[in-house]
Amino acid sequence: MNSETTAQIEGPHAYPSAAPLEFQNVGMRYPGAARPAIDDLSFAVPAGEICVLVGPSGSGKTTAMRLVNRMIDLTSGDILLDGVSVSRRKPAELRREIGYVIQQIGLFPHQTVAQNVATVPKLLGWDKERTQRRVRELLELVGLTTEMGERYPAQLSGGQRQRVGVARALAADPPLMLMDEPFGAIDPINRERLQDEFLRLQSEIRKTVVFVTHDIDEAIKMGDRIAILREGGRLAQYATPDELLASPADEFVAKFVGADRGLKRLTLSHLGDIELIDGMAAHVGDPAAEARERAERLGAHELVVVDGGEQPIGRLPVARLNGQPVSVDDADPLSATASRQTSLRDALSLVVADGNRPLVVVEDDGRLAGLVSLELISDALRPPG
C-alpha cells in the first residue's frame, strides 16, 4: 500500500477498516535487563482476524502488544501494520489509529459514558453531530442504551464499563484493536457473556484484533489464531486453535494447552460439522419386517420412530419388532435430543449420560436430522491430515 522507503516519519495513514499486522523477527530488551523480554518473534495476522497472545506470566504478552502501538519501542526487527513499519509513525498519531482496551478500563471518571466514547473523535476534530451519531451507534453496537450514555462510569457495572471501553476503542473505526486481558477482572458468568458478545460484534465489524490473555480456554474460544509465548518472549507455536490442540509442537505447548486437549477440541466442533448417521427413521405404521430388515442392513440395534411430520417421537429397539407394525407404544421416550449447533463436547456428554446410545439430532424445524454415535465423535478427534 505504501511503497516509500524513506526513514521520515509519516503523517496520518488512510487505513481500510481492518489491516494486516506482521511481526518480523521482533526483539525487545528492557534497559538493564539481562535478557530480552521479546526474542526473535515473527508471526502474521491477516486482516479481520483475532490473534490471541497467550503464555505464562512474564512471557512477554503485554510487551509484545505495547510494541504495536509504540507504548514501548522495539530493539530489533520490525512490526508492519498494513505493510507500513510502525517505527516510521508518530506514536501519538499511531495510538489514535489503534483501538486499545485494557483490563482496568481507564475510563475518565468525571466524564459521562458518551463523553468517554467520544474521546478519539474529539481528538480527531470531528464535528458535534458526527460525533454524537457515532456515539449513539457504538453504544447500540455494544448493547448499551442511549440513557446509559448520560451516566458516569461509577454508575455502571463492571461488565457495562468494559463494554464502554470496547465502544471507546472502536470510536474512530480503527483498522486494529489491541485488547490486553479485557475481561480479566470480570466474574466468570459475565466474562463468558462479554466473550460471546465480542465474538458476535466481531462477526459484524471484522477488525484485526490482538488479544492478550493468560487463560488458554479464553484463547481457544476467542482466537482465529493463537500465538503461544514461552519464557523469554519466544514463540512456542502459532496455529489455529484446532491445530494447536490436535498437534501441539512440543512438550511445553502440550502442557500449556492441558491434558484435556482432546475434550477442548470437541468444544470447537459442532454436530453440523460432521456427517450424521442417516436412514434410521421408522414411520409409525411401517410393517415390522421392513423396519427390521432396514435396521439389519444398517447394523443398527434400534430405530428412531418418527411421526407423519418426520419428527422423532421415540427410539425402538429392533428386538421389540415382533410382527406388529411400528408403534410408538413399543418405543422408549427420547431422553434428549441435540441440534446441529450442539458442540461435540455437549453431544459426548449426552451420549455418555444415555448409556452410550447414539444421540438423536433434530433440525431447527424439529425433523429428524440423523444420529450421532460415540464412534463418530471419536473419529472427529483424529488429528487432521
Ligand X SMILES: Nc1ncnc2c1ncn2[C@@H]1O[C@H](COP(=O)(O)OP(=O)(O)OP(=O)(O)O)[C@@H](O)[C@H]1O
- Where does this chain touch ligand X (CB under 6 A) — which range of 60-68, 183-191, 260-268, 358-366? 60-68
Cβ neighbours for 270, distance < 8 A, ≥ 6 positions apart? 340, 341, 342, 343, 344
**Residue 69 binds ligand X, judged by CB under 6 A:** no
Place of cell 478427534: 381
In angstroms, rounded to a whole number, what is the distance separating the alpha carbons of residues 45 and 48?
8
- In the set 19, 37, 107, 351, which binds ligand X (CB under 6 A)? 37
**Residue 34 binds ligand X, judged by CB under 6 A:** no
- In the set 15, 20, 21, 60, which binds ligand X (CB under 6 A)? 60
Do 140 and 132 contact (CB within 8 A), yes or no? no
Contacts 24+ apart (CB under 8 A), 234-237: 234/39, 234/40, 234/41, 235/41, 235/42, 235/43, 236/55
- Where does this chain touch ligand X (CB under 6 A) — which range of 3-11, 30-38, 170-178, 300-308? 30-38
- Residues in the interface with ligand X (CB under 6 A) total 12
- In the set 7, 33, 259, 319, which binds ligand X (CB under 6 A)? 33
**Residue 112 binds ligand X, judged by CB under 6 A:** no
Measured CA to CA in angstroms, residue 65 lies from 68, 211, 271 at distances of 6, 8, 36
- In the set 9, 14, 17, 30, which binds ligand X (CB under 6 A)? 30
If we measure between CA atoms, which residue out of 289, 267, 291, 269 comes closest to residue 280?
291
Do 292 and 266 contact (CB within 8 A), yes or no? no
**Residue 214 binds ligand X, judged by CB under 6 A:** yes
- In the set 3, 5, 8, 57, which binds ligand X (CB under 6 A)? 57
Q: Give whichever of 34 and 319 is closer to ligand X, judged by the CB atom.
A: 34
**Residue 63 binds ligand X, judged by CB under 6 A:** yes
Q: Give whichever of 103 and 195 is closer to ligand X, judged by the CB atom.
A: 103
**Residue 59 binds ligand X, judged by CB under 6 A:** yes
Question: Minimal distance in Å, beta carbon 180 to ligand X?
Answer: 8
Q: Give whichever of 62 and 342 is closer to ligand X, judged by the CB atom.
A: 62
If we measure between CA atoms, which residue out of 24, 380, 47, 11 comes closest to residue 208?
47
Do 327 and 318 contact (CB within 8 A), yes or no? no
**Residue 61 binds ligand X, judged by CB under 6 A:** yes
- In the set 21, 62, 281, 376, which binds ligand X (CB under 6 A)? 62
**Residue 108 binds ligand X, judged by CB under 6 A:** no
Question: Minimal distance in Å, beta carbon 34 to ligand X?
Answer: 10
In angstroms, rounded to a whole number, what is the distance separating the alpha carbons of residues 362 and 341?
10
Measured CA to CA in angstroms, residue 277 lies from 284, 344, 374 at distances of 20, 15, 11
Q: Give whichever of 70 and 88 is closer to ligand X, judged by the CB atom.
A: 70
| DSSP conformation letters of 220-263 | HHH-SEEEEEETTTEEEEEE-HHHHHHS-SSHHHHHHH-TTHHH
Q: Give whichever of 33 and 319 is closer to ligand X, judged by the CB atom.
A: 33
Give the binding site for ligand X (CB under 6 A).
Answer: 30, 33, 37, 55, 57-63, 214
